[in-house]
Amino acid sequence: MWKEYEALINKGSTRDALQTAQKIYDKALKENQVDQKFKAIIHIYQNRMVIEENSETNIINDLKSSIQKSSSVDEQALLKILLAQSYFSYYSANQYKIIERTYGNELSADFAMWDARQFQQEISKLYHSALDQKNELKKYPLENYSAIVSKDNKAKFSLPIQNLSDLLFNEAIQYFSSSNIQLIEASNAFQMNEKELFLSVQDFSKIDLSNKNSSNEWIALELYQEWITNHLQDKNQEILSYIDNQRLHFVYDHYVGEKKNDLYAESLQNGFQQFTLASSKALFKSDLIQLWYQERAGDFEYSLTQIVKEAQQVLKDYPNTLGALSMQNLIDVIQSKGLEVTLEQYIPANVPFKTFIEYKNLSSVKYKIVEWKEINRDNNYQNNQDVWNAVQKLKVVHSGNFQLPASSDYSSHSIEFALNGLATGKYALITYTDEVLNDISKGKFNISPFQITDISLVFRENEENIIVSVLNRQS
């Protein structure tokens, strides 16, 4: 029935799509398919938002009523998350007027009258309430909720989240990590500068984080600690290592204290040594190598050659892991070819001129100078087949090969070449690599239009007029 629903949505038949979603919901309710039921609920609400007046109020009231009626632990938790997301959606759409409201002490029964702090408090309560039964929710396998778990079909590897408790922790942390609810109190400004936040997973789980800060970021940190504690005794520590790795990412992104890179590097090294699973080791080692790469001009004196060597070792030691995938992507970036060509736009006639080439991972570049009948410097020339085919039809004035100084350090280098003078006219310098001739997507080429002319214009402006002087560039 979902194919029928998608077809109706694509046709713009919102009311018919709503009816189909309702049928899916009724069927799922009868057959007790929780994931299908919630997927249907989401789509029902989306369509109601389009065709129904006061839809936000009605949907939120429906969710509140459903929570009160539900006796199922998993259903209640999911409904609370959905209600929290609905509140935040309403806040985001009406933020411009909500942030102007004075904070009040009494919570109105009408959520449309809440101020920013009240939205924040109520959403926070719902996320925490959804996790009240976190231990019980671990008994609900994630595979039972496949219809409502968003999946990236292009992803080669999946995250090691296995149950509903993990899913809801992840949802809550995502909210508190990225929510933009604006609060007025300056005292609520978030500052993370405690070195102990980089401690090992066991030591971090024992830190007292309570009552230090009420910001969303600090709440996210508390949730990381709670999530970690919920998995400390697991025999299989894959999910624990994943959570701890994400915790360290979060701390690193928000830390404002001294020696940030050193603390992060040490914590990643500790995680690599502590966890024994190949997938876990690859995760921490790949992040450490990424840090070396990002900060190689600062705190870490690692060459690109060394970084590639370390990344290749991860591929060898821990194949088919998230860390290995990360390292392959990094190697592809470092070893990618680069070509940028610069020359003057206007050049005197019959006088040798220079071209400046910046290159990476190339030993030679072919070139040809062609007559360019229509120069438009605003054209956004792209590396695509159509442009390349058009270039091949232009008359070639001169061609050759730029031999580039050999280098195996994966860094960018630059060099200047001299080209013979040309007669007056409009031209373009086409530079390209051999791969372009066989597969445009695997090669590099650059189009640099220029004009050969002895005429130059000089503009001067006084109080009344603009004076234009025409000069001969060679006299």
14-22 long-range Cβ contacts below 8 angstroms, 24+ apart: 14/47, 14/50, 14/51, 15/47, 15/51, 17/43, 17/47, 18/44, 18/47, 18/48, 18/51, 21/47
* Average pLDDT of the segment spanning 142-152: 70
Half-sphere exposure of 367 (CA within 13 A, CB side): 25
Please state, for a pLDDT cut of 90, what percent of the chain lies above it: 55
Q: Which of 381, 398, 403, 389 is nearest to 447 (CA)?
A: 381
Segment 179-204 shows an average pLDDT of 76
Condensed to tens digits (0 to 9), the pLDDT of residues 445-468 reads 899 999 999 887 777 887 778 877
> Are the C-beta atoms of residues 331 and 310 closer than 8 Å to each other?
no
What residues contact 4, with CB distance under 8 A and at least 6 apart? 20
**433 close to 444: Cβ distance less than 8 angstroms:** yes
Contact call for residues 16 and 23 (beta carbons, < 8 A)? no
Q: Is the dihedral of CA 386, 389, 391, 393 positive or negative?
A: negative
* 276 — pLDDT class (breaks 50, 70, 90): very high
CB atoms within 10 A of CB 129: 16
Tell me 434's DSSP state: G
**Maximum distance among all Cα pairs of the chain, rounded to whole angstroms:** 93
pLDDT at 154: 33
In whole angstroms, how far apart are CA 465 and each of 319, 360, 459, 461, 471? Answer: 72, 49, 10, 6, 19
Helix (H, G, I), strand (E, B) or coil at 207: coil
Dihedral of alpha carbons 450, 453, 454, 460, sign:
negative
pLDDT, tens digit, 9 for 90 and up, residues 369-421: 999 876 454 455 554 777 888 888 899 999 999 999 988 899 999 999 999 99
pLDDT value at residue 189: 59
Provide the pLDDT for residue 158. Answer: 57
List the Cα angle 311/313/317 in 5-degree steps. 125
Indicate whether 357 pLDDT > 90.
yes
Q: Name the pLDDT band for 134 (thresholds 50, 70, 90).
A: very high
Give me the mean pLDDT over the 131-143 stretch: 91
More confident residue, 355 or 178: 355
* Contact present, 119 and 108 (Cβ < 8 Å): no
